[in-house]
A and B are shown apart, each in its own frame.
Chain A
Amino acid sequence: MSNDRPPEGTPEFEEWLRKEHAKTSKKIFGADYKPADFENGGAIFGDIENLDKTDAELFSDELEEYTPEERRKKFKVHSDNKKKGD
């Protein structure tokens, strides 16, 4: 992604988004584009079992998806503040 992202709500932002999206659109609907055979009506992606799961539960390997509270629960804090002589 480009770093030259203009402020949201400006004409420059819309122009930037159009340019960025054009690259993705080309990947999805490129010259050799074929419609999906699997679409016959009905569910395509999704699992209702995940409706109430957090990102930490869904992506347990990704620490950045844990809320601070979830991080505290997952990782024990080790302290060096033991009393001397213990």
Chain B
Amino acid sequence: MTAQLNPTYTQVKNSFESLRELALKIAHDDLRPVISNKRQQAVLKNEIQLDTFTFNTQRELRKWKKTGLRGVAWDWDAVQKKYKSHLKRFELSIWYRGRTLCAASIGRPTWGGGKLRLDYIESAPMGTVLDGLATDITIAAGAAYARAIGATQLRIMNPVNDTVKNHYLSKQDFLFNEKGNFCFMDL
């Protein structure tokens, strides 16, 4: 009988990195070849890239801050610092033609592991060609990662206003938890 060794920190870290990358790849592959944004402009799937948080993401997020257009929002550096220790975290940056950061999101599984929280979702404050699509692409990528880690529910935490909340409440597969202030979808 051989003893079962616990995985090392690095093995666990690498395992979740692989799951994140696989989830983003699958979420991207499953996008329509052509999709219309809120201005009815056609966007090709191949012009959209999904990535984790890279050095370029951090650099672009700092540029968002400098625009002065974000209004009341969070400090992405502080958020990233907080989530870095969560090996199972979800992170996503959505790019257009590899140059324009259109949206960023971060989240993590709940303590019990059965639900994935998408805690922060923000689209580029100056607007991009992916306006109208960024949140749904994020939710799709989050759902893929949630399944990958064995979660059975996706929670999108703290809609910034009633318009956002009601948009998802109008969809058949989303519900809203008033007490916790999150939209959720069972997977």
Contact = CB atoms under 8 A, between A and B. Distances in A.
Q: Bound pair: A and B?
A: yes
A38 B120 contact: no
A14 interface: yes
Nearest to B25: A14
Nearest to B43: A35
A39 B112 contact: no
A37 interface: yes
Contacts of B15: 8-9
A20 interface: yes
B35 A51 contact: no
Contacts, number: 176
B61 interface: no
Contacts of A33: 136
Interface in A15-43: 17-18, 20-22, 24-25, 27-29, 33, 35-43
B44 interface: no
Contact of B164 (A14, A38, A66): A38
**Chain B residues touching A, range:** 35 or more
Interface residues of A, number: 44
A26 to B, nearest CB: 9
B160 A46 contact: yes
B135 A42 contact: no
Chain A CB within 10 Å, residue with most, of B31, B74, B79:
B74
Contacts of A77: none
A1 B159 CA distance: 26
A24 B143 CA distance: 7
B37 interface: yes
Interface of A: 1, 5, 8-9, 14, 17-18, 20-22, 24-25, 27-29, 33, 35-48, 50-52, 54-56, 58-59, 61-62, 64-67
Given A35-B132, A44-B159, A51-B79, 15 more contacts: A17-B147, A21-B140, A24-B185, A27-B172, A29-B31, A36-B167, A39-B134, A40-B127, A43-B70, A43-B160, A44-B160, A45-B119, A46-B158, A55-B111, A58-B180
